[in-house]
């Protein structure tokens, strides 16, 4: 069911500092920041040959990642995103297997304009998993 690793998301307390680490220290191909008010985040992409790293910083007052940053003031890995061909079929299989889908269970349009779902970390080895239909 799962296909390519689409991205690994890392929440950071300082986007400019994190961009500098990825650009200057690690030599990565780092994008400019993009504000996504509807998602409550500002993102920077690090484009790697085989996947992406998504640096996330809270945008606005009720950012879904604000709490994460409070608990992890230095930042940290937030989620991993796997590609699926059919997100509804994937969801239905996961639910049938007893996995928990976060929120309403209906896919939302994610940060890349494609349908996404998030899966409960306790069902997936302690890792928040995002599925994205590509």
| Contact residues: Co ion, CB under 5 A | 9, 81, 130
DSSP class of 111 = T
- Measured from the CB of residue 116, what is the shortest distance to Co ion in angstroms? 7
Q: Which of 54, 83, 106, 130 is catalytic?
A: 130
Distance CA 65, CA 73 (A): 11
Closer residue to Co ion, CB minimum distance, 53 or 94: 53
Closer residue to Co ion, CB minimum distance, 1 or 24: 1
- Measured from the CB of residue 43, what is the shortest distance to Co ion in angstroms? 9
Closer residue to Co ion, CB minimum distance, 24 or 105: 105
- Measured from the CB of residue 130, what is the shortest distance to Co ion in angstroms? 5
How far is residue 23 from each of residues 26, 29, 36, 91, measured CA to CA in Å? 6, 6, 22, 36
Q: Beta partners for 133?
A: 84
Query: CB-based contacts of 61: which residues, under 8 Å, 6+ apart?
Result: none
Task: Say whether 106 is catalytic.
Answer: no
What residues act catalytically?
Answer: 130
């Amino acid at each position: 069911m799962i296909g390519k690793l689409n991205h690994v998301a890392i929440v950071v307390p300082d986007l400019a500092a994190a961009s500098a680490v990825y650009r200057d220290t690690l030599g990565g191909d780092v994008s400019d920041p993009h504000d996504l008010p509807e998602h409550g985040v500002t993102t920077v992409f690090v484009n790697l040959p085989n996947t992406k790293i998504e640096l996330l910083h809270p945008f606005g007052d009720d950012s879904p990642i604000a709490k994460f940053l409070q608990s992890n003031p230095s930042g940290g890995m937030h989620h991993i995103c796997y590609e699926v061909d059919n997100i509804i079929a994937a969801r239905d299989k996961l639910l049938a297997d007893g996995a928990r889908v976060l929120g309403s269970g209906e896919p939302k349009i994610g940060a890349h304009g494609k349908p996404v779902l998030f899966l409960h970390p306790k069902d997936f080895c302690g890792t928040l998993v995002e599925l994205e239909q590509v």
